[in-house]
Structure 1
Amino acid sequence: MPENNEHEPSDDPSPAPAAPFAVNAAGERILDARSLRGLAHPLRIRILKSLRHDGPATASQLGERLGESSGATSYHLRQLATHGFVEDDPGRGKGRERWWKAAHNGTSFADDLHTSSDPEVRGAANLFLHEIAGIHTQELSTWLATMRDWPEPWATSGDLSDFTLDLTATQLSELNAKLHAVIETYRTLAPDPAEAGDAAQVRVHLHSFPRSTPPR
């Protein structure tokens, strides 16, 4: 059960400063081999997701959100801070209460992570990608289970489609880039003032992959 203590221990060391890291135009942290290994833990991925989607929180609040002890969330928050994924949110809380926030909008793989021959890097990449796939599956299942609780415009606005195309690897990359570009145009698009009260946080999943035998 989550602990109710809202304060981290007084002897809790501050995280070491993170080394410089790359960020893309969308404000996403570009993972390299070192930072990928630092993030590739199921609870760390869930903590970072919660801070990005649900907002800043203390270690205890994250424990309650995720069904973990505040000791576990506190430890993994410090590890995430060491790698520059989270940072203090000094504008919140009071006294010794420590609030955390995500440092970036999202994460993106550096190209060489997909082709690395390092077993440790490959293992970390596999864990990370499978954890993200599991989160997507959970989010979709939650929506399907609750969609009838939403007003009709929302219940009919979601999408669960799939397509089969014959493409080259270059064409697939081009397709993904175009889809990402369309999504980015909606990132800062404010709702019409008359409909602002009807706005909700929307998750968009994009999965695209070949399914036949790899070419020789």
Structure 2
Amino acid sequence: MTDPNERPNCPPTEADAVVLDAKGLRALAHPVRVQLVGLLRKYGPSTATRLAERLGVNSGTASYHLRQLGAAGFVEEDTERGNARERWWHSVYRTTWFNDPDLADREPEATLAYLQSVAAIYTLRTQQGLNELQTMPRAWRDSFDMSDWALRLTPEETVALHGELQDVVARYRRDTPEAAARAPEGAERVALITYLLPELDAPATTEVDGGPENAGPENADPENAGPENASGTERS
């Protein structure tokens, strides 16, 4: 789910990004593994025990999935931190790309499982943020937003929109554990999650749309506030 790219469906140019192949897609087709990679990217190197505590699973489960991720090349042992009693792991990449329609056709079950895992984690992040909203400082509560816009686009226009959104995001500071110390005072991690979801069964209408439907902290509408994004090009 973060970095600039010239076109939405072009491979990334960053050295710390990975494009999923069939092996990688199958390896990540499990919500625990997607969450483990995300935690290592967010907080830096950790152990199976500490990761298990964050996820609410036992350490054996976390260890098993870390080994599977290691076999697929997503994580590696941090030998400088580890010892005979404790194994530390770190993420090999900062971002994951899934942008191969042919691969999705060849691996439909793994594709669905992976995207469902990503969608479930997006929902969990949103729920956690909502649970903490009332205890946040006022400045951060005022920055909160959940919105959706109903657009009628062609596939080409949708791809163009995706590219424009990426250009906007690219103008802002990436979050990494290493960059946190260099960020300006008051900067915190902000999750921006977008969806581009075709709704092919939506009926045509001639009525004038009243504009975007916005659900902020004071006017949240659960029926109109759509979840965030998983599009043809997925990054996490």
What TM-score comes out, normalization by structure 1 length?
0.78
Selected match of 2:149 from 163, 178, 196? 163
Partner of 2:48: 59
Q: Quick check: 1:113–1:125 contact (8 Å CA) kept in 2?
A: no
- Matched residues, number: 187
Within 5 Å, which residues of 2 pair with 1:96-175?
Answer: 96-113=85-102, 115-116=104-105, 118=106, 121-175=107-161
Work out the CA distance in 2 between the residues paired with 1:57 and 1:35. Answer: 22
How many angstroms does 1:89 deviate by?
2.1
1:27-50: CA deviations, max 9, x gaps? 321111121012212221121121
The 3-state SS of whatever aligns with 2:37 is helix
Gaps of 5+ in 1: 1-22
CA distance in 2, matches of 1:179, 1:52: 23
Name the counterpart of 2:196. 208
Alpha-carbon RMSD across the aligned residues, in angstroms, is 2.3
Q: Work out whether residues 76 and 92 of structure 2, in 8 Å CA contact, stay in contact via their aligned partners in 1.
A: yes
The residue identity in structure 1 corresponding to 2:75 is V
Distance apart, 1:123 and its partner CA: 0.7
Give the equivalent residue in structure 1 for 2:30. 41
- Work out which of the residue numbers 177, 197, 203 in structure 1 matches 2:185: 197
Quick check: 1:57–1:99 contact (8 Å CA) kept in 2? Answer: yes
Q: Percent identity?
A: 37
C-alpha distance in structure 1 between counterparts of 2:172 and 2:38, whole Å? 20
For structure 1, which segment, 73-82 or 181-190, has the greater mean C-alpha deviation from structure 2 after superposition? 181-190
Q: Give the ranges of 4+ consecutive aligned residues of structure 1 lying more than 6 Å apart after TM superposition.
A: none
Q: Which has the higher contact order (CA 8 A, sep 6+)?
A: 2
Partner of 1:91: 80
1:196 partner SS: coil
Q: Which amino acid aligns with 1:163?
A: W
CA distance in 1, matches of 2:134, 2:150: 29
- 1:98–1:115 CA distance, 2 compared to 1 (3 A): closer
CA distance in 2, matches of 1:87, 1:123: 27
**1:178: Cα distance to partner?**
1.3
Letter matched to residue 67 of structure 2: R
* Corresponding letter in the other structure for 1:142: Q
TM-score, length-scaled by structure 2? 0.72
Residue 80 of structure 1: aligned partner: 69
Between Structure 1 and Structure 2, the one with more helix by share is 1
The answer for unaligned runs of 5 or more in structure 2 is: 1-10, 203-236
Contact 2:52-2:59 at 8 Å conserved across structures: yes
